[in-house]
């Protein structure tokens, strides 16, 4: 994954100097409960990440951090809520790649992802893997490209829905290789993944964590990963880029933002707290065990990262012609 050089440093080297007592801050902020808004229902992957991270922030702040679930409209409801919240540091928003997608995919958004929010830090990347049903005579990306070109329109790939990362991963692959594969949208990543396991669909571009058990049991065959570097959990798998599609890169990511007018000193305090959490070995292990790659960045770096992802994803979306009214 192409991210800022600072994000690639070992997290322990990214720790910033500050004063604390135990895990509690000596500053006056925060003096009351902090809202941590997550754009999903309880129990999902987004929610799990938020609760783990909020727990870490509460320990550092020595103050309660309450997770507030605001599901709906692919994360837009949560974003609108926080965009209108007081810019005092007491309302945080966890965003993901979906928010960068929404900028182009949705018409008439009532918030501006760049204008209305200040980046705090990139938190983690969720790697994606390309898997096929074992019955498909494909063991590499080149095999997949050859088969798809020999049988145009015969192969299909499921997604968690139009506009999701699994959808965009497949569409990007089609556009970069010139193959003709049929998109089959499902209501969520779980049903999409199971459709490949059952043989109902052929190829899935999806997150590593839910696919891993099926890969290990031989129900799915993994052929490549969507990041720009190989993964420690599957070092034998090449990246899509090195396997025959130079420049291919797509994975989900998560980060933390606050309302745009949040005072700089409070923003810096939240940033230091977030980086402190990300530097904790037990916390980074929990993220790693979830199949995530924990990362961190400076506020200005994350703001630039968001802009770059909006631009990259906009090109893919425009190529597909996808829209949501």
Q: Where are the domains of the chain?
A: 5-125+253-320, 128-225
The arrangement of secondary structure in 128-225, i.e. its CATH architecture, is 3-Layer(aba) Sandwich (3.40)
Partnered with residue 158 across adjacent β-strands are 184
State pTM to two decimals: 0.80
Q: Are 283 and 52 in contact (CB under 8 A)?
A: yes
Class for domain 5-125+253-320, per CATH? Answer: alpha beta
Residue by residue, pLDDT tens for the chain (325 residues) are 444 444 433 343 334 444 444 444 456 899 999 999 999 888 777 888 999 999 999 999 999 999 999 988 888 999 999 999 999 999 999 999 999 999 999 888 999 999 999 999 999 999 999 999 999 999 999 999 999 999 999 999 999 888 788 988 999 999 899 999 999 998 878 899 999 999 999 999 999 888 989 999 999 999 999 998 998 888 999 999 999 999 998 899 999 999 999 999 999 999 999 999 999 999 999 998 888 889 999 999 999 999 999 998 998 888 777 777 5
């Amino acid at each position: 994954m192409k991210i800022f050089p600072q994000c690639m440093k070992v997290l322990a080297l990214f720790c910033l100097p500050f004063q604390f007592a135990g895990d509690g801050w000596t500053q006056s902020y925060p003096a009351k409960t902090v809202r941590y808004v997550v754009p999903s229902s309880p129990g999902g992957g987004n929610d799990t990440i938020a609760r783990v991270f909020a727990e870490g922030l509460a320990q550092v702040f020595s103050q309660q951090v309450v997770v507030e679930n605001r599901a709906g409209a692919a994360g837009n409801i949560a974003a609108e809520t926080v965009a209108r919240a007081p810019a005092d540091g007491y309302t945080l928003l966890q965003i993901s790649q979906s928010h960068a997608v929404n900028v182009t995919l949705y018409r008439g958004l009532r918030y501006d992802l760049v204008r209305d929010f200040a980046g705090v830090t990139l938190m983690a990347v969720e790697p994606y893997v390309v898997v096929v049903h074992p019955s498909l005579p494909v063991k590499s990306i080149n095999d997949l490209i050859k088969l798809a070109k020999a049988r145009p329109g015969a192969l299909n790939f499921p997604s968690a829905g139009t506009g999701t990362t699994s959808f965009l991963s497949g569409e990007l692959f089609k556009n970069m290789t010139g193959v003709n594969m049929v998109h089959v949208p499902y209501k969520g990543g779980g049903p999409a993944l199971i459709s490949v396991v059952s043989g109902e669909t052929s190829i899935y571009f999806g997150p590593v964590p839910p696919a891993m058990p099926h890969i290990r049991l031989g129900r799915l065959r993994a052929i490549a990963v969507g990041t720009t570097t190989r993964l420690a959990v599957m070092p034998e798998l090449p990246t899509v880029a090195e396997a025959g599609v130079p420049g291919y890169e797509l994975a989900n990511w998560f980060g933390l933002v606050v309302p745009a007018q949040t005072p700089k000193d409070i923003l810096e305090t939240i940033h230091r707290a977030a980086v402190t959490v990300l530097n904790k070995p037990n916390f980074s292990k929990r993220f790693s065990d979830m199949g995530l790659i924990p990362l961190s960045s400076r506020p200005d770096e994350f703001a630039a990262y968001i802009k770059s992802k909006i631009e990259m994803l906009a090109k893919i979306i425009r190529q597909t012609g996808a829209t949501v009214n």
